[in-house]
Structure 1
Amino acid sequence: MRKTDFYIDGSWVAPSAPNDFEVINPADEQGFATISLGGQADVDKAVAAARAAFPGFAAMPHGERIALLEKLYEVYKRRMGEMAETISKEMGAPMKLATQAQAAAGLGHIKAFIRDLKEFEFEHPLYPDVTEEHIVHEPIGVCGLITPWNWPMNQVTLKVIPALGVGCTVVLKPSEVSPLSAMLFAEMIDEAGFPKGVFNLVNGDGPTVGAAMSSHPDIDMMSFTGSTRAGTAVQKAAADTVKRVTLELGGKGPNLIFADTDVAKAVKRGTIHCFNNSGQSCNAPTRMLVERSVYDDAVEAAIATAAKCQVGDPEEDGNHIGPLSSAQQFEKVQELIQVGIDEGAKLVAGGVGRPEGFNRGYYARPTIFADVNNEMTIAREEIFGPVLSIMPFSDEEEAIRIANDTPYGLTSYLQTDDVERMRRVSKQLRAGMVQMNGAQRPGGSPFGGYKMSGNGREGGRWGIEDYLEVKAISGWQ
């Protein structure tokens, strides 16, 4: 399958210079599609199209933009099976996960943003009794969007939908590891009838297309999701043009389990969550902190859960986990598992190498380390694989200290039946999100973190505000 064109100014166009890149199925390590990696000239074309389209799209009545998003929702819903199959093949998500979580996340975000955009107040007085000062929220302009491979549609829709919804125009660079889902999304945009130039897609790698976008003088904002290393590169490249930059980066989520809860249930839930999507989620609870009095029981419960975690072919139905997304990711995970062993962590499940029965594909063994301390590499670095680190704590104060002793601050997890402790500890955890006792995050909740986990928030009105400038008009009548 050759998909070498880019979507620019409402049409599929050939790259300025051919630069073929093979898309690999991580389940069998075989190429199944060819895209082209773009360059500066392609970025310039896409940005010029977005810049030309911006005045008209920004001036379009809000209701008309909502109607376009509603049409997109219907197109996406009808083609969601295609989207799930595409995601499964390009990044290895098992079909059940690809359908019920990966592709479904995109549909859910479109629906939630339509609701929030309908309710958003774009103009209002400064205060009810200060009507002569008028506040207007206006689209920031041309937005450069860079999305990752691990949750492709989740991230594409979290960026594209609010940007288009408020009247911005966009240039999207999906990950070259999982580009086909974004290209399918571009087809949906086209089918929904968005004006030409409003949405543009250029494939490419970070050092070339990503850097060209980040430094481009005609891009007003960059929104990036990915590694902290790449996020800092985006921010540095954007500095000279003083554009707005929002970043959703890595995580090393602590999961605090106190003895006053159902420990076995909490450990099982946390272990499964850590292994979900083959561990390739920035908000995974990868550091399990357990109160010392129940620590041994918790380790045994985690081992039992790992023993039941199946690894299998993404095309097969079931609750198993699939391969890691790429050879590069596989090697990284293998190296860090070995580092954990070398640094003295106690390997109690899994380990290096592929699971039994696999001699190809980027499959990793569900792995658990016990007796980890927070200075070990596996407790500090984001592994992005099915690897859980378990460590004990003596009291609430120590649990909070260990939890916050990380350069990251995305999601923290807390398991306790003490309501006062829930409220007390959750407020002391330095993270953008805290999930307690298995609670799920509702649609429209802000997603984002503290410290090196990034800045800005995605989802709900917070995600809408990131794409708006605030104008204060004095003397309004």
Structure 2
Amino acid sequence: MTTTTESLSAAPTLPPVTLRIGAESRTTGAGTHEHIDPATGKVDALVPLAGVSDVDDAVQAAHAAFAVWRATPAGTRAKCLLKLAQLVEEHSEDFATLGIADNGTARGTLYATVTAAAEWIRYYGGWADKLPLGRITSVVGAGGSFGHTLRQPYGVIGTIITWNAPLMSLAMKVPAALAAGNAVVVKPSELTPFTAMLFAGPAREAGIPDGVFNVLSGGPEAGAALVEHPLVKKVTFTGGPETAKKIAASCAKTFKPLLLELGGKSANLVFADADLDQAAMHAAYMAFGVMSGQACALPTRLLVEESVYEEFAAKVAAIAGYFKVGNPQEIDTICVPVINDAAIARIEGMVSRAKNDGARLLCGGERLGGELAEGFFYPPTVFADVAPESELAQKEVFGPVLAITPFVDEAEAIALANGTDYGLSGYVWTSDSRRSIRLAEALETGDVAVNGAQNAVAERPFGGIGHSGTGNEGGLEGLEEFFWTRVCRLRQRLEVTMGAFRHAY
């Protein structure tokens, strides 16, 4: 492992954070939050926090704009979204700079994120004028009827996004909602206010009317007000299961539908016949190089066939040791800080308990000091011999900690992989195509990626089961989340005879 402190104190000047409500940019709210740069541990901005009245104003603005946006020709909505995808790409440097400021994500990762986000926007822009509007049914003969189903936008969508990947959260939710004809009120985390605020500029420039896209940085009070607002007709949330339980309980009061994309403890199954060098590089990079382990779909459990277990564990630990840790501004930085001191404390607690549980530490395991001590840096940490029932194998760390466990055969690998409350993603490495098909069907996850295939791409649904959530983002399924279905019927004759009535019922 190498570290760098170059230019950690030379952070760019950040724009003031505002609440974007309709055409208005508000500089004040119900309070403020001190935003801390994860790389330096220093306050770099004051974030206005939306209060209940700000939430109401934003929802009212979205409700008024919904009538306009819904009536906008589908072709025009498509053009706006396609233009937005182009503008996001054109603002890649701005999104990279503010993405680093938000949560310390590596610059190289953010460039790739901008590309992926634009593809999601472009995908749903392509659907906007080709929407699945419904189907026609008829019953022929005397007294028959003609009917058709309509797919209707809900209206205002309450959108609560997570702090770990704000641009991708926006791209996975907002374009689909807008393509379907809805308006949105987005509440980003107060920890990461900059990306969503920047997104509002290209949205307006792309021709999306004021009020169709609104942004309210805020904490739990703002989130609760948004979920409970009677004009919010559906809620989509990305985050942790505990917050999701509160949202679900609130929505249940009025039977408000919701879409939940939650956590994961995804297993990565490596068989002896796999390309072990590629599999080891993939395992190390996905555990440590993607936002330092702070993502829900990452393979944070590594299950390895017993015959290659020691060899493979050593490969992964060695690769992790080469990763550069430090300044996220540097293009060659791989591992970046975690979000805050609370995250450090959580990681340190889980690492300490893993040692006490008998897991074998191969590398890492202590917060980085020296010139990185002021930031929230934790090194790539690999544990071998992790017991399947232990905390480290069962709970999300949301940090750069990888748990490795051996298995004897395919049946045990499946049982271990399915042995948590989560069901978001699964990963398989094998040269046996028949085995890969068997495992893809046997793993109880919303997504299975074999031999390094990419997950969470725009054209395919992404979602989970169990504590990983409900519903889907991505693909046609992700678009259909933002419609409700109504049925219209017309009888061939105005009068209804008692005979026809008795026949029908």
TM-score (norm 2): 0.90
Deviations 1:239-266 (A, max 9, x none): 1121111000000000111112122331
State the partner residue of 1:231: 244
Shift of 1:84: 0.8
Pairwise mapping of residues 37-76 of structure 1 onto structure 2 (< 5 A)? Answer: 37-76=49-88
Letter in structure 2 aligned against 1:440: Q
Shift of 1:29: 0.9
Deviations 1:306-361 (A, max 9, x none): 11122120111215211112222222112211121121111111102216652221
State the partner residue of 1:103: 114
- Report if aligned partners of 2:425, 2:446 keep a CA contact under 8 Å in 1: yes
Deviations 1:392-445 (A, max 9, x none): 111111111110010000000011111111111110100000000111234311
State the partner residue of 2:95: 83
Per mean C-alpha deviation after superposition, the further-off stretch among 252-261 and 434-443 is 434-443
Per mean C-alpha deviation after superposition, the further-off stretch among 241-250 and 350-359 is 350-359
State the partner residue of 2:350: 336
- Report if aligned partners of 1:10, 1:199 keep a CA contact under 8 Å in 2: no
Letter in structure 2 aligned against 1:91: N
- Report if aligned partners of 1:4, 1:15 keep a CA contact under 8 Å in 2: no
Shift of 1:108: 1.8
Shift of 1:367: 0.2
Pairwise mapping of residues 205-244 of structure 1 onto structure 2 (< 5 A)? Answer: 205=219, 207-244=220-257
2:136 equivalent among 111, 122, 125? 125
Deviations 1:253-293 (A, max 9, x none): 00111112122331221121111211111011011011111
Q: Aligned equivalents of 1:256 and 1:348: distance in 2?
A: 19
The 1:131–1:430 alpha-carbon spacing in structure 2 relative to 1, beyond 3 Å, is farther
The 1:476–1:173 alpha-carbon spacing in structure 2 relative to 1, beyond 3 Å, is farther
Shift of 1:131: 10
2:410 equivalent among 374, 396, 401? 396
Q: Answer yes or no: is 1:259 the counterpart of 2:272.
A: yes
Q: Answer yes or no: is 1:473 the counterpart of 2:484.
A: no
- Report if aligned partners of 2:81, 2:124 keep a CA contact under 8 Å in 1: no
Shift of 1:4: 4.5
Q: Secondary structure at the match of 1:28?
A: coil
The 1:291–1:309 alpha-carbon spacing in structure 2 relative to 1, beyond 3 Å, is same
Q: Aligned equivalents of 2:166 and 2:137: distance in 1?
A: 39
Letter in structure 1 aligned against 2:251: A
Letter in structure 1 aligned against 2:61: A
Q: Answer yes or no: is 1:192 the counterpart of 2:206.
A: yes
- Report if aligned partners of 1:311, 1:355 keep a CA contact under 8 Å in 2: no
The 1:356–1:428 alpha-carbon spacing in structure 2 relative to 1, beyond 3 Å, is farther
Letter in structure 2 aligned against 1:195: P
1:351 equivalent among 361, 365, 368? 365
The 1:132–1:295 alpha-carbon spacing in structure 2 relative to 1, beyond 3 Å, is same
Shift of 1:128: 13
Q: Answer yes or no: is 1:385 the counterpart of 2:394.
A: no
- Report if aligned partners of 1:2, 1:34 keep a CA contact under 8 Å in 2: no
Shift of 1:126: 5.1
C-alpha root-mean-square deviation of aligned residues, in Å?
Answer: 2.0
Deviations 1:421-473 (A, max 9, x none): 11111101000000001112343111111111001100121111000011222
State the partner residue of 2:8: none
State the partner residue of 2:386: 372
Shift of 1:71: 2.5
Q: Aligned equivalents of 2:108 and 2:491: distance in 1?
A: 55
Q: Answer yes or no: is 1:115 the counterpart of 2:129.
A: no
Letter in structure 2 aligned against 1:67: K
Q: Aligned equivalents of 2:356 and 2:458: distance in 1?
A: 42
Q: Secondary structure at the match of 1:181?
A: helix
Q: Aligned equivalents of 2:19 and 2:307: distance in 1?
A: 58
Q: Answer yes or no: is 1:415 the counterpart of 2:429.
A: yes
Size of the aligned set, in residue pairs, is 474
Q: Answer yes or no: is 1:437 the counterpart of 2:451.
A: yes
TM-score (norm 1): 0.95
Q: Aligned equivalents of 1:143 and 1:77: distance in 2?
A: 25
Shift of 1:52: 1.8
Letter in structure 1 aligned against 2:471: G
State the partner residue of 2:293: 279
Q: Aligned equivalents of 1:104 and 1:363: distance in 2?
A: 27
Q: Aligned equivalents of 2:261 and 2:136: distance in 1?
A: 32
Q: Aligned equivalents of 2:25 and 2:121: distance in 1?
A: 24
Deviations 1:27-53 (A, max 9, x none): 111122211111111111111111122
The 1:355–1:259 alpha-carbon spacing in structure 2 relative to 1, beyond 3 Å, is farther
Q: Which is greater in Rg? A: 2
Q: Secondary structure at the match of 1:409?
A: coil
State the partner residue of 2:188: 174
The 1:53–1:345 alpha-carbon spacing in structure 2 relative to 1, beyond 3 Å, is same
Q: Aligned equivalents of 1:219 and 1:120: distance in 2?
A: 22
Structure 2 unaligned residues grouped into runs of 5+: 1-13, 493-505
Per mean C-alpha deviation after superposition, the further-off stretch among 448-457 and 234-243 is 234-243
Per mean C-alpha deviation after superposition, the further-off stretch among 243-252 and 435-444 is 435-444
Q: Aligned equivalents of 1:369 and 1:71: distance in 2?
A: 46
Q: Answer yes or no: is 1:456 the counterpart of 2:471.
A: yes
State the partner residue of 1:139: 153
Letter in structure 2 aligned against 1:26: P
- Report if aligned partners of 2:32, 2:46 keep a CA contact under 8 Å in 1: yes
Q: Aligned equivalents of 1:197 and 1:152: distance in 2?
A: 20
Shift of 1:382: 0.4
Q: Secondary structure at the match of 1:123?
A: coil
Pairwise mapping of residues 268-307 of structure 1 onto structure 2 (< 5 A)? Answer: 268-275=281-288, 276-307=290-321
- Report if aligned partners of 1:75, 1:188 keep a CA contact under 8 Å in 2: yes
Shift of 1:228: 1.0
Q: Aligned equivalents of 2:364 and 2:430: distance in 1?
A: 28
